[in-house]
Structure 1
């Protein structure tokens, strides 16, 4: 036995039953350990399961599996989820607590985002004749550096796999719709001074002290709330790292402050940089070290309106960056929709409520039947 109430389980044969119990499907997916870079076993199982259905054309690129219908519908929807997880932390194999509406499935990846993958696999099997053609994408290496991301890879090698009028990413969203995502920008500001012995401080110029006006400006900054496509995004600008000084008896001649700006998807990266450089941080020289555009939710699209109606709850803005931005960059509006609380993503005690598995599955089926 593992921890209390948690039987030690091994996945035998790696067979996924896409038409059985959703909880059992999720537990099998969780027990297929798939830390980024080690997705082959789970990708093999997903590919094998999807190839059992004649209504799906199945292709593979490394450890990304694509399955799609080709019914000649007027519209194509893309529904995607990543197969990888962050490293295991004593939270495998899976276990459950509670029962009925209070049943919870625990274990690495249960929330981020194998709950969403379970929902999508079950829906892919069920929806043999959907009202829109569907492309299902199950991809690798989402949790690590951009250069390895499976969705980014097929955007370059097979862009037609991601083509559609609307996309849904199964990131945890408490079974509600989180539209689009924020953009993110990291910049460095370097303050300089003159080194001296701290016993003769008047002979130097303290670069750390020179950061005071910058920090004061950040403290006074009031985050803006911006409405985009009917959703309210709250921006944020914060110092996230500061470095300076070489010894306890030396006046530092250099101090570097790193800032993170989370901006609403009404701006491009270039506009976000200009806003910081010319407005908020005018007078300081900025060095851009990382940037990613956000994504508009695209809720004015007909498919999106039908999706919102199927879910039956008002959408909200996504705070944070997700791979929906990759779809937006290709001109495909996208939303986040999946079971699980996003605050539990990457937590050692992550879990997924069984009730949200069911509600997400039922919403997809309502929307696409």
Structure 2
């Protein structure tokens, strides 16, 4: 891979503000990467929930893929300046540089450059930052199948083989409106809600350092009450919960069971929306071992990691497919100083290339 060619391609992709609220820019980013792959391949296009995605492979008919390379091209919102890439030494600053447009380009170039005797696929999606259900999830629902998946989220050539599950929940409180000068005549729903939230945080305290356990983030609290001199009659809190596979209160339970568990803890009705399981890949599986060996051959540790956040790997795990996160290095994910480490780009390309070449013919 030529680094100058890569940087030119990266500059064009990073300048596309492909956020969830800009469907035209999502499509533009997708076309940019498809153009990198070039002709002579089959491209299947998908769309769900207004989010386009594509599946690229060689041959006329879609196979079960021995390896599927997965990349998302959407990014979280940023300032206009963040969509103007700038390089400082080995750092390339831009929204999406680390998460994960540079890795996406490498995956596309590996697919383009490395012939394989087994079915290899490239899966490009545009909705990972908003849940992934209309991209990776939708394609798998449509019958896309694989034996192993490599997801190019940033990892500095380490392998994420385990990530937490997630729950989106809402706690609702009702009360009785009254004049705030006479609070004994009412029932303050907001106070009831805050007590319920405190009970949840007592059960799942906010950690002060990194810990592999269940966490609860209170993302938003609302009430329809707009008057300072009125006792609120309703209030709601939205929760983002992340849990490891070891937490039996969440793992293996459906949305209704989780809702009952949370309601018992806080004493108020709880509605659960998303309830996604944790992800885990066999750390001793042949693909994991081969990919670790390829990373080590490039001078990197190939260490196994756990990821507190959820990723599209969970959709593969739900279908019994081992998936790992393996990408370039960098820092500042979703922040004002997001950047990729350009020193990891060529080793990342070579590690993926050598990993694919090491696999036996299928």
TM-score w.r.t. length of structure 2 = 0.78
Is 1:270 matched with 2:259? no
Alpha-carbon distance, 1:68 to partner: 2.9
Alpha-carbon distance, 1:178 to partner: 1.8
With over 3 angstroms needed to count, the CA separation of the structure-2 counterparts of 1:327 and 1:207, relative to structure 1, is same
Pick aligned residue for 1:47 from 24, 29, 34: 34
Pick aligned residue for 1:135 from 115, 121, 139: 121
Is 1:326 matched with 2:305? no
> C-alpha separation between the residues in 2 aligned to 1:366 and 1:184?
34
The answer on whether the counterparts of 2:73 and 2:104 sit within 8 Å (CA) in structure 1 is yes
Query: How many corresponding residue pairs?
Result: 332
> After the TM superposition, which residues 329-348 of structure 1 pair with which residues of structure 2 at under 5 Å, given as runs?
329-341=318-330, 344-348=332-336
With over 3 angstroms needed to count, the CA separation of the structure-2 counterparts of 1:298 and 1:272, relative to structure 1, is farther
The SS at the match of 1:270 is: coil
> C-alpha separation between the residues in 2 aligned to 1:78 and 1:178?
16
Match of 1:155 in 2: 140
With over 3 angstroms needed to count, the CA separation of the structure-2 counterparts of 1:19 and 1:138, relative to structure 1, is farther
The answer on whether the counterparts of 1:185 and 1:269 sit within 8 Å (CA) in structure 2 is no
With over 3 angstroms needed to count, the CA separation of the structure-2 counterparts of 1:79 and 1:186, relative to structure 1, is same
Alpha-carbon distance, 1:247 to partner: 1.6
Alpha-carbon distance, 1:214 to partner: 1.9
The SS at the match of 2:172 is: strand
With over 3 angstroms needed to count, the CA separation of the structure-2 counterparts of 1:180 and 1:224, relative to structure 1, is farther
> C-alpha separation between the residues in 1 aligned to 2:64 and 2:188?
66
With over 3 angstroms needed to count, the CA separation of the structure-2 counterparts of 1:75 and 1:185, relative to structure 1, is closer
> C-alpha separation between the residues in 2 aligned to 1:134 and 1:168?
11
The SS at the match of 1:250 is: coil
With over 3 angstroms needed to count, the CA separation of the structure-2 counterparts of 1:30 and 1:296, relative to structure 1, is same
Is 1:350 matched with 2:341? no
Alpha-carbon distance, 1:328 to partner: 1.7
Match of 1:8 in 2: none
Is 1:285 matched with 2:269? yes
Aligned CA RMSD, in angstroms, stands at 3.2
The SS at the match of 2:260 is: helix
The answer on whether the counterparts of 1:96 and 1:106 sit within 8 Å (CA) in structure 2 is yes
Q: Residue by residue, what CA displacement relative to the aligned partner does 1:36-69 show, whole Å, maximum 9, x if unpaired?
A: 42244443343344244x6xx4213055343335
Match of 1:3 in 2: none
> C-alpha separation between the residues in 2 aligned to 1:92 and 1:239?
30
Match of 1:248 in 2: 228
> C-alpha separation between the residues in 2 aligned to 1:48 and 1:256?
46
Q: Residue by residue, what CA displacement relative to the aligned partner does 1:115-135 show, whole Å, maximum 9, x if unpaired?
A: 1112212222332136x5421
Match of 2:74 in 1: 84
Gaps of 5+ in 1: 1-16, 226-231
Is 1:110 matched with 2:92? no
> C-alpha separation between the residues in 2 aligned to 1:112 and 1:136?
18
